[in-house]
Amino acid sequence: MAKYLFRRVLASVPVLFVVAFIVFALLRLSPGDPAMILAGDGATPAQLDAMRHSMGLDRGIIEQFVIWLSKVLRGDFGVSLITGLPMRDLVLDRLGPSFALCLSTITLAVVVAIPVGVVAAWRQGRALDRIIMSGSVMAFSVPVFIIGYVLILLLSRGLGWFPVQGYRPLSEGIGAFALHLTLPTLTMSAPFIAVISRIVRSSVIEVMGEDYIRTARSKGLSERGVLFKHALGNAAVPIATVVGLSIALLLGGAVVTESVFNIPGLGRLVLEAVLSRDFTAIQTLILLSSVTYVVINLAIDVLYSILDPRIRY
């Protein structure tokens, strides 16, 4: 396993390098000039040239890439072209809210979706199954921002239970932290509950026809035991895959939720960086996102062998 992990980590290096280079090149080739954005219409061409020089944008693409990469390898992600602040500080500042939101979302999604999916599989073709599946289609189809607005209208503006917007870190108290995170979590988890519950349902249905399920039943095991111990355990591999992919998708999906609920997370940082052509910020964030994807994929592969001992690398 250790050898396998080492090989995988090694294989991910060229992947990250290629991603970094493509992103770097695309940014430099796309229209947009941070110096012009910063200085506005009043700047003279000479002043713009001076600003581009101070930002290092007057060098060749390859030279810029090599300089940036050598700094990244030393752990220096550079400074944001727009704010002038170190990227490390900006990312760390936004990491907490994003991490909290992603963790609460995936936790809620898994906690709700797995039993719901198992119950739907158990009641396959009956009214309960149809209701659950109709609900999951709806939760997956309705745009996240509409779910957010409806929840704000009902639970914040209507009942006054939750704040409309904002984020409070845990250091300000568990109550404020939970209150501010509830609506965004409910909003963002809806499509993931839908997807995961459907996968759980189909995976469980598939294994329910297997011999060992019949054997378990014939041994007199309760239906709950059959479902959650034997069926769910053997359906775990595809479920782990979809949960892992959901975690990766959460990183991108958080942009809308973070905007609707005014959560200062990484999703918003990406959006701001793109709109203001903050090249350093975009490069850093996409590189970090790629690293996260690679790590999650690796973690899923490792998890396979734990969930199914027959899988060996």
Partner 1 sequence: MFALPWGVRRAACIGVAGVVAALGAFPALAQTTVTAVMHAPLRGLDPVINSQYIVRNYAYMVYDTLLARDAANKIRPQMAERWTVSLDGKSITFVLRDGLKWHDGTDVKAEDCVASIRRWSAMDTMGQVMNTLLEGMTVVDDKTFEMKFKEPTEIALTALSKPSGLAAFMMPKRLADTPVSEPIKEELGSGPFRLVMSDFKPGVQAVFEKFKDYVPRSEPASGMAGGKIVSVDRVKWVTMPDPMTAVNALLSKEIDLIEYVPYDLLSILEANPGVVVKESKLRGNQSIARLNFSQSPFDNKLLRQAALLAIDQKDQMQAQVGNPKYYKLCAAAFGCGGAYASDIGADKVIKGQPEKAAELLKQAKYDGAPVVILHATDVPAFAAMAPVVAQALRKAGFNVQMRSMDWQTVAVSRASRAPVTNGGWSIFCTINGLVDVGEPLGYNAASASGKSGYFGWPDVPAIEEARAKFARTKDPEELKTIATDLQRRILDEVLFIPLGEAYSVSAWRTDMAPPLDTPVAVFWNFTRTGK
Interface with partner 1 (CB under 8 A): 31-33, 36-44, 47, 50-51, 53-54, 80, 82-85, 90, 93, 149, 152, 156-157, 160, 163-166, 259-262, 264, 268-269, 271-272, 275-277
Q: Min. distance of Cβ 178 from partner 1 in angstroms? A: 17
CB of 223 to partner 1, least distance (A): 46
Q: Is 41 strand, coil or helix? A: coil
Both structure tokens of 311: 């899988």
Give the Cα separation of 55 and 29 in Å (integer): 17
Provide, rounded to whole angstroms, the least separation between the CB of residue 102 and partner 1: 18
Calpha distance 185→178 (Å, rounded): 10
Distance CA(217)–CA(264), nearest Å, equals 51
Minimum CB separation of residue 275 from partner 1 in Å reads 7
* SS3 letters across 114-171: HHHHHHHHHCCCCHHHHHHHHHHHHHHHCCHHHHHHHHHHHHHHHCCCCCCCCCCCHH
Nearer of residues 12 and 262 to partner 1, judged by Cβ: 262
> In angstroms, rounded to a whole number, what is the distance separating the alpha carbons of residues 181 and 97?
9
Select 90 or 239, whichever has its Cβ closest to partner 1: 90
Residue 147 CA to residue 151 CA, distance in Å, equals 6
Class of residue 188 by CB neighbours under 10 A (exposed 0-12, middle 13-18, buried 19+):
buried
Q: How far is the CB of 264 from partner 1 (least distance, A)?
A: 4
Query: Considering only CA atoms, which of 147, 189, 177 is closest in space to residue 263?
Result: 177
Nearer to partner 1, 54 or 215 (CB): 54
Give the Cα separation of 277 and 26 in Å (integer). 12
CB closer to partner 1, 69 vs 176: 176
Name which of 230 and 277 has its Cβ closer to partner 1. Answer: 277
Provide φ and ψ at 231, rounded to 5°. -70, -55
Return d(Cα 59, Cα 303) in angstroms, integer. 45
Kindly state the smallest distance separating residue 26's Cβ from partner 1, in Å. Answer: 14
Identify which of residues 90 and 243 has a Cβ nearer to partner 1 in the complex: 90
Nearer to partner 1, 36 or 221 (CB): 36
Output the smallest distance, CB 283 to partner 1, in A.
17
Q: To the nearest whole angstrom, how small is the minimum distance from the Cβ of residue 190 to partner 1?
A: 18
One-letter identity of residue 299: A
Q: Which is closer to partner 1, CB of 117 or CB of 253?
A: 253
